[in-house]
Structure 1
Amino acid sequence: MTKDLEHSFVTQLEENQNIVHKICRLYTNDQESHNDLFQEITIQLWKAFPKFRGDSKFSTWMYRVALNTAITLYRKKKRRIDTASFESVSFKIKAEPYDDTIEEQLKLMYSAVKTLNDIDKALVFLYLEDKNYKEISETLGITEVNARVKMNRIKGKLRNILNP
């Protein structure tokens, strides 16, 4: 690879690395697993970068590669990639005055999302990242209509889990 291509990759990765960290937090349970998944995603991004055509935003392409890598690792190992426990993740919610019910609601939401399969979890992740259905469909490789239908079904599942 040329130095320009390498520089472009490193720059884009640095600007968008939070995407990879968020996905790693979603699909791992400890720092060592997080680091391993981050490294594997970075390797896959590097391998695929010369084929990135720029048809979509770099961040959208990065989401797709990162999510596919996380899901592929799950399938290869034939075991569930554990998500981070809520207690092990530090959240700083700025609310005046601080309301303990917000933290409790987040805890319940994360435990409900953990029950979803990996594809549904990825869809919820992208939805919570304020991605529109077009971006979600491009990232996950499904139709926009399918993304909407799946999200509506997931919302129903989450409602049933949270409000039995």
Structure 2
Amino acid sequence: MNKQKQKEFFQQIIEQHKGILFKVARVYCHDEHDRDDLMQEMMIQIWQSVPRYKEQFKISTWLYRISLNVAISFYRKNTTRANRFTVLNEQTSDLYNEEKVETEQQLDLLVQFISELRELDKALILMYLEDKSHHEMAEILGLSVSNIGTKIGRIKDKLKTKFSQ
């Protein structure tokens, strides 16, 4: 792919799939400036990865994989354990529009639960809430489909335990 085609491809995928980048950035950054920085880092990585894109892969899967990898690295670099709860607390309402949490206390418990998850599990929850199939999640995260099912099952079990306490 020549430079002009790379540029056109990059512009096209960013235009068509920018929502993926925004969703991932909102989950991993609560501060608008940090979110902008993360978006820039994701776009740089996508631009650098364009020459290696293989048409056999869905563009959205490829973008999720890149954006999640960049976001997790960014999150680890820039977020301390102490403020992770705050980051997720401000963003949870965006993730759970379809979920009807009955009380504020349950919502707080859910936010706390998610904030305690490892970065990979947060990515799984994000995709699960977007109704991604296990196969899509496996492709994006580079895991087996059965591993995805197991991890989601364990997260659900932890959530049930947390809510029954």
Q: Which amino acid aligns with 2:87?
A: A
- Indicate the SS of the match to 1:22: helix
Tell me which of 71, 83, 87 is aligned to 1:84: 87
2:27 and 2:91 in contact (8 A); partners too: no
Structure 1 CA distance for aligned equivalents of residues 43 and 9 of structure 2: 14
Ranges in structure 2 where 5+ consecutive residues have no aligned partner? none
What whole-Å deviation, never above 9, does each CA across 1:97-131 have from its counterpart, x for those lacking one? xx883776555433321221100000111111111
User: What is the 5 A alignment of 1:71-110?
Assistant: 71-76=72-77, 79-80=80-81, 82=84, 84-87=87-90, 101=102, 106=107, 108-110=109-111
**CA shift digits 1:10-62 (9 cap, x unpaired):** 11111111111111111112101111111101100110011010222101100
RMSD: 2.8
Find the aligned partners of 2:101 and 2:47 in 1 and give their Cα distance: 42
Structure with the higher helix share, 1 or 2: 2
TM-score by length of 2: 0.82
For 1:123 and 1:15, locate their aligned partners in 2 and report how far apart those are by CA, in whole Å: 23
Tell me by how many angstroms 1:2 deviates: 2.1
**When the two structures are aligned, how many residues end up with a matched partner?**
160
Structure 1: gaps (5+ residues): none
Which residue matches 1:137?
A: 138
Residues of 2 paired with 1:139 and 1:88: CA distance? 22
